[in-house]
């Protein structure tokens, strides 16, 4: 069983006053194999969490943060996963995560360039099946700038355009690409979409839970999951918050090709880190951690 996580850290910088040790405790306590972080502001911020993780158990943790968009990072259990690699002339070449810029948009379909490109990584299990896990870590922009107000039709259209580009121009390109090792690949788009699923209890703006991408003589059925609310209500009043009234939106998701994962058991869930790690103190959690809770996708490969 693999445990893949996504966690928006809310502007976590190198000089943050956030509770770094608690971030590490959440990652360790949930047993994530790989976790994709958003709003992590560079290697300095990531290294603080990696240093804090050294205090928990005997797991070896590795991580990398982007220095281009300055918004993403990956942390992984190095006892279970390594970065994709290949041997060239007797030397081992490792493929580091990268900001994904090589994509083509279809202007006839109304696509426009991404405002914030995703962070792409490939991982090999150290033990287990001969496969590759590819992760496209995204943080869809809530607005383009001050000229576009938050939930106006223009802002929503931009978010939907970004999801369209991420799935059709990037996911579809990378999902089935084969390299020299010819490992079967399991590709997941994940992160903060700033769009809700219709099956959630949140309102609009919605994204499609399932749609088909034509791919030559075949097709991909892209399914997006994780319908629990995962962001906190923003409020200045003294109303006591609990699980019934503290969550606002369903923004954090996983998307994958249903056909490709047909040999997998999949379960997705929201991690109520406020209850588990902050004794239901919603105000303290939002101040010291984030306005999001982490989400997890568990899956295994049958056979």
Domain regions of the chain by residue span: 2-301
- Rounded Cα distance, 185 and 170, in Å: 15
Torsion of Cα atoms, 178 then 66 then 28 then 175, to 10°: -20
The Cα–Cα gap between 113 and 26 comes to 35
Give the per-residue pLDDT at 78: 97
Query: What's the confidence (pLDDT) of residue 148?
Result: 60
**Residue 182 and residue 132: Cα distance in Å, rounded?**
9
Neighbour tally for 112: CB within 10 Å:
13
Task: Please list the pLDDT of the chain residue by residue as tens digits (303 residues).
Answer: 999 999 999 999 988 899 999 999 999 999 999 999 999 999 999 999 999 999 988 899 999 999 999 999 999 999 999 999 987 776 778 999 999 999 999 898 889 999 999 999 999 999 889 999 999 999 999 876 555 656 666 889 999 999 999 999 999 999 988 887 788 999 999 999 999 999 999 999 999 999 999 877 789 999 999 999 999 998 665 566 666 688 999 999 999 999 999 989 999 999 999 999 999 999 999 999 999 999 999 999 864
25/292 Cα distance (integer angstroms): 16
Angle, CA 4 vertex, CA 176 and CA 299 arms, to 5°: 70
Question: Is the CATH number 3.40.50.880 carried by domain 2-301?
Answer: no
Closest CA to 183 of 128, 126, 261, 131: 131
Residue 47 backbone phi and psi in degrees, to 5:
-60, -30
Yes or no: say if 183 and 113 are a contact pair by the CB < 8 Å rule.
Answer: no
Enter the DSSP assignment of 231: B
Pairing status of strand 119-125 against strand 81-83? antiparallel
Long-range contacts of 19-23 (CB under 8 A, 24+ apart): 19/288, 19/289, 20/48, 20/49, 20/51, 20/52, 21/52, 21/55, 22/277, 22/278, 22/288, 22/289, 23/49, 23/52, 23/289
Main-chain dihedrals φ then ψ at residue 24, nearest 5 degrees: -65, -40
Distance (Å, whole) CA 23 – CA 73: 14
C-alpha torsion sign, points 77, 83, 87, 91: negative
Q: Is-cis flag, bond preceding 205, omega within 30?
A: yes
């Amino acid at each position: 069983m693999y445990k893949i996580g996504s966690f928006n850290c809310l502007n976590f910088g190198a000089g943050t006053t956030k509770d770094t040790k608690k971030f590490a405790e959440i990652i360790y306590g949930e047993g994530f194999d790989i976790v994709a972080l958003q709003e992590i502001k560079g290697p300095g911020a990531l290294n603080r969490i990696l240093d804090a993780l050294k205090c928990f158990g005997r797991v070896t943790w590795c991580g990398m943060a982007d220095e281009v968009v300055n918004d993403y990072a990956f942390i992984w259990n190095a006892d279970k996963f390594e970065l994709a690699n290949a041997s060239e002339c007797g030397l081992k070449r490792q493929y580091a995560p990268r900001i994904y810029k090589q994509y083509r948009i279809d202007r006839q379909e109304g696509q426009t360039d991404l405002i914030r490109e995703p962070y792409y990584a490939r991982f090999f299990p150290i033990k287990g099946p001969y496969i590759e896990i590819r992760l496209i870590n995204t943080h869809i922009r809530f607005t383009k700038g001050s000229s576009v107000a938050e939930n106006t039709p223009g802002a929503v259209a931009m978010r939907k355009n970004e999801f369209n580009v991420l799935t059709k121009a990037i996911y579809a390109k990378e999902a089935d690409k084969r390299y020299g090792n010819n490992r079967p690949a399991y590709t997941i788009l994940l992160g903060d979409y700033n769009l809700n699923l219709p099956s959630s209890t949140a309102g609009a703006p919605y994204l499609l839970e399932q749609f088909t991408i034509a791919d030559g003589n075949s097709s991909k059925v892209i399914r997006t999951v994780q319908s629990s609310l995962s962001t906190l209500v923003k409020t200045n009043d003294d109303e006591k918050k609990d699980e019934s009234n503290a969550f606002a939106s369903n923004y954090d998701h996983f998307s994958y090709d249903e056909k490709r994962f047909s040999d997998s058991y999949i379960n997705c869930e929201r991690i109520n880190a406020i209850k588990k790690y902050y004794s239901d103190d919603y105000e303290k959690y939002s101040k010291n951690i984030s306005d999001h809770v982490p989400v997890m996708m568990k899956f295994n490969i049958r056979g």
